[in-house]
């Protein structure tokens, strides 16, 4: 298992095959929880942890799991991990647990977790699968951070609302002037769809621009390989 291979897996998870922007999987929590930065990042990290561990565990056990009942077994593994995480949230970050509510237990049914386990971990080694789960999760984290941060900023004028749930006594950061009226639609459900659509368009635009640049300088072998 060489490093180049792992790097390729990580690149796919974080950018090229991003769960939210390219595969459009797990949109329910992405749209519902990204009302602010803290909620988005918290759920993103929780999902990333579950994906990394479940990927590794499933890959390690993949030759022992009967093919016909693999999905229930996968779900069992994922559900045990999520239960541990859910209890940990409840014990150590109780106010955040109350905010995220049902979305932490629902990681079990998040299609992106099962999708990576079924499409990747069931066919690859434990290390690659753990890296894949973690990279896909990391892709989700930055997407949720960007989406949550942007919606929060446009909707309320400051970011890091609810930071005191993680660091007691910390204050939200006001970015826009105090008389900014707050564009409420950004926080409401339509704002989630509009913002996600703009991010998808933005990624396509960046990719198209990169491809154009690579086509203009064919001497660079790295750029040639990526197109």
List interacting residues with other proteins (CB under 8 A): 179, 181, 183-185, 188, 190, 194
Cα first-last separation, the chain: 24
Least spacing, CB of residue 177 vs other proteins, in Å: 11
**Contact predicate 89/96, CB 8 Å:** yes
Cβ proximity to other proteins, 188 vs 215, nearer residue: 188
Annotate 174-188 with DSSP letters as a single string: E-S-TT----GGGTS
Task: Indicate the angle between helix axes 37-61 and 126-156, nearest 10 degrees.
Answer: 170
Q: Which is nearer to other proteins, 56 or 191 (CB)?
A: 191
CB of 34 to other proteins, least distance (A): 18
Q: Using DSSP, state whether 159 is helix, strand or coil.
A: strand
In this structure, what token pair is assigned to residue 135?
């990279």
Residue 37 CB, shortest distance to other proteins, in Å, is 20
User: What's the closest the beta carbon of residue 201 comes to other proteins, in angstroms?
Assistant: 8
Closer residue to other proteins (CB): 5 or 212: 212
Taking the complex as a whole, the smallest distance from the CB of residue 92 to other proteins amounts, in Å, to 36
What are the CA-CA distances from residue 190 to residues 159, 183, 196, 197 (Å)? 19, 12, 10, 11
Task: Kindly tell me which of 14 and 195 has the beta carbon lying closer to other proteins.
Answer: 195
Q: CB-wise, 82 or 150, nearer to other proteins?
A: 150
Task: Residue count of the chain, please give it.
Answer: 227
- Distance between CA atoms of residues 198 and 142, nearest Å: 15
């Amino acid at each position: 298992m060489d490093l180049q291979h792992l790097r390729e897996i990580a690149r796919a998870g974080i950018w090229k095959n991003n769960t939210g922007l390219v595969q459009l999987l797990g949109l329910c929590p992405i749209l519902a929880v990204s009302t602010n930065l803290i909620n988005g990042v918290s759920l993103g990290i929780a999902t990333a942890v579950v994906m990394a561990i479940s990927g590794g565990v499933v890959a390690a056990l993949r030759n022992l799991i009967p093919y016909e009942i693999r999905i229930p077994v996968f779900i069992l593994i994922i559900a045990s991990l999520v239960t541990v995480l859910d209890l940990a949230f409840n014990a150590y970050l109780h106010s955040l647990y109350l905010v995220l509510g049902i979305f932490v237990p629902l990681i079990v049914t998040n299609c992106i977790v099962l999708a990576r386990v079924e499409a990747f971990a069931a066919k690859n080694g434990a290390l690659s699968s753990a890296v894949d789960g973690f990279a896909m999760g990391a892709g989700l984290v930055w997407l949720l951070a960007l989406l949550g941060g942007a919606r929060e900023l446009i909707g309320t004028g400051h970011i890091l609302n609810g930071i005191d749930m993680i660091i007691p006594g910390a204050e939200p950061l006001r970015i826009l002037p105090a008389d900014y009226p707050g564009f409420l639609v950004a926080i409401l459900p339509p704002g989630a769809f509009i913002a996600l659509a703009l991010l998808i368009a933005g990624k396509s635009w960046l990719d198209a621009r990169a491809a154009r640049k690579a086509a203009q300088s064919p001497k660079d072998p790295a750029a040639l390989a990526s197109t």
